Chains A and B, each alone.
Chain A
Amino acid sequence: MLLHTVNKSPFERNTLESCLRVCEDGAGILLIEDGVYGALDNTVVADLIKKRMGNIKFYVLGPDVDARGLGNQTMIDGIETVDFGGFVDLVEKHSATQSWL
């Protein structure tokens, strides 16, 4: 199963949408850089992820969350926060990584 990384804000680009469109159930999606805004709950784009929660495993990179002042914001239920070490572990446990740009 693939690990997808998404680094663009879902408010500005359709990267997350495209990723979700071609993402197999069982795959992992890690939100990094400006992609972490997609992990926030109570936004107009939150449903993108909520609709696939349970079928796809979602992760968000903690240092990118903290940098953007989102540490205390409500994240979508079920998203797991990982650090850089966790990022490496995810890459290692998936068959390949699709780095969306």
Chain B
Amino acid sequence: MEEEWDEDGPEVVKRFMYVNRKAPYGTVYALEMLEKVLIAAAFEQDVHVVFMDDGVYQLKKEQETKGINMKNFSPTFRALEGYDVEKLYVEKESLEARGLTVDDLVVPVEVLSSQDLKALMDKQEVILTA
């Protein structure tokens, strides 16, 4: 059966923001958030993904999880581009507090000050934080 949706794109496109504030692996929040992002991407929404506080650690390069028997999901962030999720933002203050720079991250991101992030957040229609 033909799906009209696929031909014309989604009927409604909203600005979605996903705010990642948790480190990976210690809790399941980070992984679950990534799944939520992929769902919004499947519905061709206008997805914005923010990493702040310990959430910036989700993007840290060189994750090697064999020793703790968990799946390393950091490569998935590199695949987001393929789902047209290209708006990735990192809060500058969070990076700096942890002694990190964009060179430490697995994907290219836009670095925003808290001030800029505040303005971007204000423009969103749906915001999910974990």
Binding site for B on A (CB under 8 A): 7-9, 11-12, 33-34, 37, 40-44, 62-64, 66-74
Name the A residues within 8 Å of B15 (CB-CB). Answer: none
- Interface 1/0 per residue, B19-33 and A, CB below 8 Å: 000111111000000
B62 interface residue per 8 A CB criterion: yes
Residues 59-117 of B at the A interface (beta carbon under 8 Å): 60-65, 67-68, 70, 72, 74, 97-99
Complex alpha-carbon distance, A8 and B54, angstroms: 11
- Could you tell me if A69 and B64 are in contact, using CB atoms closer than 8 angstroms? yes
Provide the residues of chain B in CB contact with A37, threshold 8 Å: 23, 54, 57, 98
Residue from B68, B70, B99 within 8 A of A42 (CB atoms) = B99
Q: How many A-B residue pairs lie within 8 Å, measured between CB atoms?
A: 70
- CB within 8 Å for A12 and B53 given contacts A66-B64, A66-B67: yes
Residue count of chain B within 8 Å CB distance of chain A = 23
A40 smallest CB distance to B (angstroms): 7
Closest B-chain residue to A34, C-beta based?
B26
B74: which of A7, A42, A69, A74 is its contact (CB, 8 Å)?
A69
CB distance from B32 to the nearest CB of A (A): 16
Closest CB-CB distance, A35 to chain B, in whole Å? 8
Interfacial residues, chain B to chain A (CB-CB below 8 A): 22-27, 53-54, 57, 60-65, 67-68, 70, 72, 74, 97-99
| A68 and B60 in contact, given A9-B26, A34-B23 (Cβ under 8 angstroms) | yes
| Min CB–CB distance B96 → chain A (angstroms) | 8
A67 and B62 contact, Cβ closer than 8 Å, known pairs A9-B54, A11-B97, A41-B99:
no
Task: Judge whether B98 and A11 touch: CB under 8 Å.
Answer: yes
Is A9's CB under 8 angstroms from B64's CB?
A: no
Known contacts A11-B97, A42-B99; decide if A67 and B23 are in contact (CB<8 Å).
Answer: no
Bound CA–CA A11/B94 (angstroms): 10
Q: List chain A residues, Cβ under 8 A from B61.
A: 69
The answer to whether A11 and B67 touch across the interface, beta carbons within 8 angstroms, is no
